[in-house]
Amino acid sequence: MKKKLYFKFSTTHIILLSFLLVILLGSILLALPVSSASGVAIPYIDALFTATTATCVTGLVTVSTVSAWSVFGQVVILILVQIGGLGVITIMSGLMISLHKRIGIGDRMLIQDAFNLNTLSGLVKFIKKVLVGTFVVEGIGAILYMSVFVPEYGVKGIWISVFNSVSAFCNAGMDIISEDSLCKYALNPIINVVTSILIILGGIGYIVWWDVIRVLKNIKNQKLKCFYGLTLHSKIALSITGFLILAGAVAFFIFEYNNPLTMKEYSVFDKVQMSLFQSVTTRTAGFATIPQQNLTNASAMVSLLMMFIGGSPVGTAGGVKTVTIAVLIASAFCTIRNKDEVVLFQRTISKQAVSKAVAVVSMSFLIMFTSTILLAAVTNASALDIMYETVSATATVGLTRNLTPVLNLWGKIVIIITMYLGRVGPISLAIAFNTKKESKTMIKNPIEEISVG
């Protein structure tokens, strides 16, 4: 009987429950008096909100990360961010590997589904590379941050550097520097460049990492141009990421150029680096060097689009993902041109991939739209501020127009649920397409034409 009950839990259910259990455990720890900077326990709803935003690597906060939490509380938050960025299954698999435990077929299926991979082979090696790569990049990021934070904060600067590096790589957007994120360092090239690189490396996806390294190793022998030796996935991810960052930066530069509340008084160089950072951070990172409530309406709308798209698959970023959007747009153009096959970079995209893209975008939009209506029902904020909040929560970004700190109880509950669904919803839907196979039947329903569009 017990065996039957066990097998009723699919890999999708285990992944969903693992995130939920980590959030609940984190909320209990953060609700303890020892986690509070004042020694007085933080209200449980705020502890739950913080645990959710950390585990879902979002970054929206109802209480200040820098002043509300003790060192113990900040350590708990950082651990939740690291678990949320890598994934619970990755952490558990890494522990099993380090203890020389055997990774069985069930564990391999969990890893496959957690990363939405198409094969069961080489998964142990993949996990090792993910963990080593993550800690190496975060370590380098922390060392580079220390060149700024240690001279300014002394020994405390080491902890700030480690926290910021992990948070940036995991696209969490949480910091322990100040109440207004990185606005204090808006004109600091080191902070801008290091944070941007960490965000991009975390958001581009591990598959792209290994593919680029493979091509760079073999490029001399194969005499190939770097880009042409990449897989189709890497080509799409890198192309769309580069395009979105540059297009977003140009848009922010134009729309904020004469905005007295953001960039009007700065030099052209400073405007360029602020525009680039805003473009990068909207890709689900959540750090801010410009107060989001001061953006023009045009810039806010561009930010909404960038947040919704997010980063790339098999990385630490959220959103519907770059590859998903590329497939969806390519499919639309193929339909307009009356072509049967969806083609990108002279390669045909499978119909299953197109179906996944439609499903993931539809599910994300449904979560965002429902959340927007519910938050509007319990909050008196403007429509733009509410949309900014819900898109940020759905895509696990963490940028806000100062609405998060003033949310009432129901507003907090809405955003907590939205962050959780945004982190696991689209992923789980994609997994369901891989794991659930429709039973074959000789009986087919009749086809009937309908009008579309």
Average pLDDT over residues 293-304: 95
The confidence score (pLDDT) of residue 98 equals 62
Given this model, what pLDDT does residue 442 score?
A: 62
Q: Give the pLDDT of residue 4.
A: 45
Predicted confidence at residue 1, as pLDDT, reads 44
Q: Which residues of 102-112 are buried (b: 16+ CB within 10 A; e: fewer)?
A: eeeeebbbbbb
Q: What is the pLDDT of residues 166-182, one digit of tens each?
A: 999 999 989 999 888 89
Which tokens belong to 172? 């969490």
pLDDT at 372: 96
Q: Looking at residue 339, what is its pLDDT?
A: 87
8, pLDDT greater than 60: no
pLDDT of 7 > 50? The answer is no
Whether residue 27 is predicted with pLDDT greater than 80 in this model: the reply is: yes
Return the pLDDT at 266.
94
Domain boundaries, the chain: 2-433
- Pick the more confident residue, 61 or 6: 61
pLDDT digits (tens, 9 = 90+) for 228-286: 788 888 999 999 999 999 999 999 999 999 999 999 999 999 999 999 999 999 988 88
Mean pLDDT of 97-108: 60
Model pLDDT for residues 169-228, shown as the tens digit of each residue: 999 989 999 888 899 999 999 999 999 999 999 989 888 888 888 888 777 666 556 777
